[in-house]
Homo-oligomer: A and B are copies of this chain.
Amino acid sequence: MRILIVEDEPGIARFLKQGLEEEGFAVDVAATGPAGLAQAQAQPYDLLLVDWMLPGLTGLDVCRQLRAQQDQTPLIFLTAKDTVQDTIAGLQAGANDYIKKPFHFEELLERIRVQLRPAGGPSERFTLGPIVLDVSTHQVYKDDEEIALTQKEFALLEYLLRNKGKVCRRQSIIENVWDIHFEYNTGVIDVYMNALRKKLKITKDDEFLQTIRGIGYVARD
């Protein structure tokens, strides 16, 4: 689960990032309104935590702009403002929840879980350097640009990313991606690795998809 924090006070941002990472979330931080908006547009997140008062754009502006672009990512405001008018304005702008500072981390955590809950199946996502693979929507991005992959290309990349850092033997790949369980001598894997590297523009210098001669392949970042 990926969370973006948009918060300008470094102390609070650090505290949140650390706490959420300990809970197993992948956390990015943006320090200004425009930076947060750009980041949220660039990559898919599962949840946004947005401070109300921000340099550049207010949190309210960020929220409005995202919703205007049909971005329905759950968004929780995190703020010292606690007048009723502000709460209402925030929720009307399309926010999903609103927590007043000072807050207890436990409560924030639970409210985050509530927002992620209705998303149903956990949207499985894997990353490899600049590459993001979303299993549920069958989409792949490199540097925030969407890359169109065919079924087999996607399945192969998914298998390598699920085993990131581990060397995958050719035999395992054939069994898991092609579902062939007898000995089989073929060049399909080579052909597909070639297609993947081409589409993802991975050069020989990159080490994202390495060949292990005589064994198989590894994905590492």
Q: Which of A12-70 contact B (CB under 8 A)?
A: 67, 70
Contact yes or no, B88 A110, CB < 8 A: yes
Cβ of A84 under 8 Å from chain B: yes
**Stretch in contact with the other chain, from A1-9, A177-185, A192-200, A207-215:** A207-215
**Cβ contacts under 8 Å, A70 to chain B:** 126-127, 164-165
Known A137-B167, A167-B138: A87·B107 in contact at CB below 8 Å: yes
Contact yes or no, B169 A138, CB < 8 A: yes
A residues adjacent to B (C-beta < 8 A): 67, 70, 72, 84, 87-88, 91-92, 94-97, 104, 106-107, 110-111, 113-114, 118, 123, 126-127, 137-139, 148, 150-151, 164-167, 169, 212-216
Number of this chain's copies in the assembly equals: 2
CB distance from A153 to the nearest CB of B (A): 11
**Cβ contacts under 8 Å, A95 to chain B:** 114
Known A151-B215, A166-B139, A213-B150: A107·B88 in contact at CB below 8 Å: yes
